[in-house]
Structure 1
Amino acid sequence: GKIMSENNQATSSPKAPAAKFGGKGMTVAIVVAAAVTVFGLVLWGVQLTGGLVQTGMRNFDSWGLYITCFMFLVGLSAGGLIISSVPRALGIEGFGGISKIAVWTSICCTVLAIGFVVIDLGQPLRLWELFAYSNLGSPLMWDIIVLSVYLILSVVYLWATLRFEGGKGSERSLRIISVVALVTAILVHSVTAWIFGLQQAHGLWHTALLAPWFVSSALVCGVALVLVVVIALRRAGYLELDQKYVVKMLKLLGVFVLVDLYFFGCDLLTEGFPGAEGADTVAMLTTGALAPFFWTEVIGCACAAIVAFVPKLRTNPLIVVASVLAIVGIFCKRVQLLVGGFQVPNIDYATPMTSTTITDWTSGMHAYDALVYFPTPLEFGVVLGVIGLGALLLLLGLRYLPLGPAEASR
Structure 2
Amino acid sequence: MTALREPAVSEALAATDPLRLEVRAFVDEERAAGRFAPIADAWLAGWDEDFSRRLGERGWLGMTLPAEYGGHGRSALERFAVTEELLAAAAPVAAHWIADRQIGPSLLRFGTEEQRRMYLPGIARGEVYFGIGMSEPDSGSDLASVRTKGVRTDGGWLVTGTKVWTSGAHHAHAFFALVRTAPLDTSHRHAGLSQLIVPLDSTGVTIRPIHLLTGEHHFNEVVLDEVFVPDSMVLGEVGQGWHQVTSELAFERSGPERFLSTYPLIAVLVDALAQRADCAGRRELGLLLARLATLRAMSLDVAASLSSGVAQDVPAALVKDLGTRFEGEVVALADSLLDVEPDLDSDDPTRRLLAQAVLHTPGFTIRGGTNEILRGVVARGMGVR
TM-score (norm 1): 0.28
TM-score, scaled to structure 2: 0.29
Structure of higher CA gyration radius? 1
**More helix, by proportion:** 1
Q: When you count strand as a share of all residues, which structure comes out higher? A: 2
